[in-house]
Chains A and B, each alone.
Chain A
Amino acid sequence: MSIRDWPIKRKLTAILLLISGLVLVLTSVAFVTYEVVTFRQTIQSHLATRSRILAANSTAALAFANEADAREILDALKYDPHMVAAALYGQDGRVLATYSAGAAAGLIPATPEPDGYRFEGSRLVGFTPVAQGANQRLGTLYIASDTKDVSDALRLSGIIAVIVLAIAMLAAYALAVALHGRISAPILALAETATAASTRQDYSLRAPKFGEDELGTLTDAFNQMLGRIEEQKQELQQHAVRLEQRVAERTREIEHRNEALRRNAAELLAANNELDAFAYSVSHDLRAPLRSIDGFSQVLLEDYATQLGDAGRDSLQRVRAASQRMATLIDDLLKLARVTRAEMRTERVDLSGMAREIVFDIQRTTPDRRVEFAIAPGLEARGDSRLLRVVLDNLLRNSWKYTGKQPQPRVEFSAVVENGDHVFVIKDNGAGFDMTYADKLFGVFQRLHSAAEFEGTGVGLATVHRIITRHGGRIWADGAVDKGATFYFTL
């Protein structure tokens, strides 16, 4: 674990111990240094004093070069166990007498060195002048002393320093342990509260406050934050509840609507099936009686022509014409019903080609009439090709029919672009119609011309309208009496 990850308690303790340790070590070093320096000065001055006394006592022995006296004087040094060696040098620098404790004889230098006191290794050595009066120098005194006292003192003060250091560190540690709680407790409490709040998602928790210091401010701010989170969480929950309620409501509504739609669809299906059955039945059953009416009228006309007379034959012809008109009507109505029921298959349809086929068929079946058809090339649309064929067939045949009284009949099929939409146009120069009644053009059984003028059932344009509407398109017309008619449609 790196120091960065230590708990705050340990960090605080470590800081306290480090600081107090450093201070104590520096203090101890200073203390020991001071002790050693002081002690060395002390023993140096002791040695100097002793040297000067000895030197003063040695003047006579040196003046007379009395070796025995000199040795006796030096021997007195044996009462000081620290004195290792000593020597007296004459004026000529030769050794007059020596003293040595133990095996220290070899230490004595052969000739005196400059006056003064200095430490040499573990010894303090001194050269002191021996003089008669103020300025008559008689020789030099050499004394070497060991420094055992210094090292003893050093050891002692070292031990004292270590003991003091240990006690002080222990005390510092105890203090740190006792005091760091003051700082770390609020932080730990904050950390605990934060952890608990985030893991349990419980924002009603509050961190305890220990004082009015910066940590107290932090705790207050943290608690306020928790309070706000709690409020927002409650708000969110309320929103969620409301949202769920609305979703449930909507779902119920949608279910109701779906149910209604299903019912409608079922009803529609039933209605469609009924219409199917109705149309099927009409197709089969309604025509049979007409066939009998027409057939037996014809039988009468063939077998009893003479008995019937002109009026009788005319009546029977009217009966036949009426029954055939009825049959056409039924057929047209069935077509209209089929257009409504038929399934749409959308594909690309070549309207120009389709129109040409229809025109070809018209001209083939009615070679006695010459109508000029102008069909623009490349007209295309998307839609159900069978239904679109019904549209073109109806419109082109209409134009063909209503140009019947025109000396130079002409029908055009083209397209224009209007507001981005392709508008297909079928225009003729035939009988036209009165725009006052334009809204009746596309109604079932609505006719703007009498059957005597132009025959028809009034179902064709209704069928066209229904097909266009099923394709999502529009159809409208433009015309004037005897000025031709123009039909427009979009798909």
Chain B
Amino acid sequence: MNPGKILLVEDNPDDVTLTMRALKSHNITNDVIVAQDGVEAIDYLFGATGRPAPGDLPAVVLLDLKLPKVNGMEVLQRIRSDERTRLLPVVILTSSDEERDVIDGYSLGANSYVRKPVDFVEFTKAAQQLGLYWLLMNQAPPSPRGP
């Protein structure tokens, strides 16, 4: 089995470092691609300035909500509205557990909503479980045919 890549959309470098560390410490060795804002994430998925994206989509997108330029919800909306990424697993991984964020996230088609715990031990556990679940246990949707 060849587990795919993880697209981590996160603007806070501390969070990037900690998330990477949490994933790595649990032997999740997949490539982690980091997008530091919504625009980068969209560019990665759909190709910069409208060019088609690289063929292989990530296995899962870990999406923060509060992002510069284009926020997480908009990224999610874009992902779900495109035929190629319509079925792409997206996990919202964010600080907030505001009810409206949870509702909006699921309404826009998020597969999961995880709140980052402040306790790093807890956070590491959460990241480990996320990686295990989405990369190893979850049956990914079939790759869409290229355009």
Residues of A near any B CB (own CB < 8 A): 279-280, 283-285, 287-288, 290-292, 294-299, 320, 323-324, 326-327, 338
**Chain A residues within 8 Å of B15, by CB:** 288, 291-292
Q: Which residue of B lies closest to A297 (CB)?
A: B120
**Chain B residues within 8 Å of A323, by CB:** 118
Shortest C-beta distance, B37 to chain A (Å), equals: 15
Instruction: Establish whether residues B118 and A291, one from each chain, have CB atoms under 8 Å apart when the complex forms.
Output: yes
**Chain A residues within 8 Å of B125, by CB:** none
- Complex partner residue of A291 from B14, B65, B66, CB under 8 angstroms: B14
Q: List 24 A-B contacts (CB under 8 A).
A: A283-B97, A284-B65, A285-B95, A287-B95, A287-B116, A288-B14, A288-B15, A291-B95, A291-B116, A292-B12, A292-B14, A292-B15, A292-B18, A294-B120, A295-B14, A295-B120, A296-B14, A296-B18, A297-B120, A298-B120, A299-B21, A299-B120, A320-B120, A323-B118
**Chain B residues within 8 Å of A291, by CB:** 14-15, 18, 95, 116-118, 120, 123
Q: Which residue of B lies closest to A281 (CB)?
A: B66
Q: Which of B79-112 contact A (CB under 8 A)?
A: 94-99
**Chain B residues within 8 Å of A280, by CB:** 96, 98
Ranked nearest first, the 9 interchain pairs of A and B with the lowest CB-CB distance are: A327-B118, A292-B14, A298-B120, A295-B120, A283-B96, A295-B18, A287-B95, A284-B66, A284-B96
Q: Which residue of A lies closest to B98 (CB)?
A: A283
Instruction: Establish whether residues A295 and B66, one from each chain, have CB atoms under 8 Å apart when the complex forms.
Output: no
Take A280-B96, A283-B97 as given contacts and tell me if A290 and B118 are in contact as well, using a CB distance cutoff of 8 Å. yes
Instruction: Establish whether residues A295 and B12, one from each chain, have CB atoms under 8 Å apart when the complex forms.
Output: no
Q: Which residue of A lies closest to B97 (CB)?
A: A283
User: Could you say which of A295, A323, A324 has the most chain B C-beta atoms within 10 Å of its C-beta?
Assistant: A295
**Chain A residues within 8 Å of B137, by CB:** none
User: Could you say which of A285, A292, A296, A323 has the most chain B C-beta atoms within 10 Å of its C-beta?
Assistant: A292
Shortest C-beta distance, A66 to chain B (Å), equals: 167
B1 proximal to A (CB < 8 A) = no
Shortest C-beta distance, B10 to chain A (Å), equals: 10
Compute how far the CA of A129 lies from the CA of B118 in the bound complex, rounded to whole angstroms: 173
Instruction: Establish whether residues A288 and B12, one from each chain, have CB atoms under 8 Å apart when the complex forms.
Output: yes
Compute how far the CA of A324 lies from the CA of B123 in the bound complex, rounded to whole angstroms: 12
User: Could you say which of B18, B98, B118, B119 has the most chain A C-beta atoms within 10 Å of its C-beta?
Assistant: B118
Compute how far the CA of A285 lies from the CA of B67 in the bound complex, rounded to whole angstroms: 11
Instruction: Establish whether residues A288 and B95, one from each chain, have CB atoms under 8 Å apart when the complex forms.
Output: yes
**Chain A residues within 8 Å of B123, by CB:** 291, 295
**Chain B residues within 8 Å of A297, by CB:** 120
**Chain A residues within 8 Å of B118, by CB:** 287, 290-291, 294, 323-324, 326-327
Compute how far the CA of A295 lies from the CA of B12 in the bound complex, rounded to whole angstroms: 13
Instruction: Establish whether residues B21 and A284, one from each chain, have CB atoms under 8 Å apart when the complex forms.
Output: no
Instruction: Establish whether residues B95 and A283, one from each chain, have CB atoms under 8 Å apart when the complex forms.
Output: yes
Instruction: Establish whether residues B12 and A324, one from each chain, have CB atoms under 8 Å apart when the complex forms.
Output: no
Compute how far the CA of A326 lies from the CA of B12 in the bound complex, rounded to whole angstroms: 20
**Chain A residues within 8 Å of B97, by CB:** 283
Instruction: Establish whether residues B95 and A284, one from each chain, have CB atoms under 8 Å apart when the complex forms.
Output: yes
Q: Which of B50-83 contact A (CB under 8 A)?
A: 65-66
Q: Which residue of B lies closest to A290 (CB)?
A: B118
User: Could you say which of A288, A297, A324 has the most chain B C-beta atoms within 10 Å of its C-beta?
Assistant: A288
Mark interface residues in B7-21 (1 if CB within 8 Å of A CB, else 0): 000001011001001
Compute how far the CA of A327 lies from the CA of B96 in the bound complex, rounded to whole angstroms: 12
Shortest C-beta distance, B68 to chain A (Å), equals: 13
Q: Which residue of B lies closest to A293 (CB)?
A: B118
Instruction: Establish whether residues B119 and A284, one from each chain, have CB atoms under 8 Å apart when the complex forms.
Output: no
Compute how far the CA of A297 lies from the CA of B120 in the bound complex, rounded to whole angstroms: 9
Q: Which residue of B lies closest to A294 (CB)?
A: B120
Compute how far the CA of A324 lies from the CA of B122 in the bound complex, rounded to whole angstroms: 11
Q: List 16 extra interface pairs beyond A291-B18, A292-B14, A299-B21, CB under 8 A.
A: A283-B96, A284-B66, A284-B94, A287-B96, A287-B116, A287-B118, A291-B15, A291-B120, A292-B18, A294-B118, A294-B119, A295-B123, A298-B120, A298-B121, A320-B120, A324-B118
Take A291-B95, A291-B118, A298-B120 as given contacts and tell me if A285 and B66 are in contact as well, using a CB distance cutoff of 8 Å. yes
Shortest C-beta distance, A70 to chain B (Å), equals: 161
**Chain A residues within 8 Å of B18, by CB:** 291-292, 295-296, 299
Shortest C-beta distance, A133 to chain B (Å), equals: 165
Shortest C-beta distance, B49 to chain A (Å), equals: 30
Compute how far the CA of A295 lies from the CA of B20 in the bound complex, rounded to whole angstroms: 12
Compute how far the CA of A327 lies from the CA of B18 in the bound complex, rounded to whole angstroms: 17
Compute how far the CA of A291 lies from the CA of B116 in the bound complex, rounded to whole angstroms: 8
Shortest C-beta distance, A61 to chain B (Å), equals: 163
**Chain B residues within 8 Å of A284, by CB:** 65-66, 94-96, 98
Q: Which residue of B lies closest to A287 (CB)?
A: B95
Compute how far the CA of A290 lies from the CA of B65 in the bound complex, rounded to whole angstroms: 18
Q: Which residue of A lies closest to B99 (CB)?
A: A338
**Chain B residues within 8 Å of A324, by CB:** 118-119
Compute how far the CA of A279 lies from the CA of B97 in the bound complex, rounded to whole angstroms: 11
Compute how far the CA of A323 lies from the CA of B119 in the bound complex, rounded to whole angstroms: 8
Shortest C-beta distance, A144 to chain B (Å), equals: 144
**Chain B residues within 8 Å of A320, by CB:** 119-120
Compute how far the CA of A288 lies from the CA of B18 in the bound complex, rounded to whole angstroms: 11
Compute how far the CA of A295 lies from the CA of B99 in the bound complex, rounded to whole angstroms: 26
**Chain B residues within 8 Å of A292, by CB:** 12, 14-15, 18
Compute how far the CA of A297 lies from the CA of B117 in the bound complex, rounded to whole angstroms: 15
User: Could you say which of B15, B66, B95, B97 has the most chain A C-beta atoms within 10 Å of its C-beta?
Assistant: B95
Q: Which residue of B lies closest to A292 (CB)?
A: B14
**Chain B residues within 8 Å of A283, by CB:** 95-98
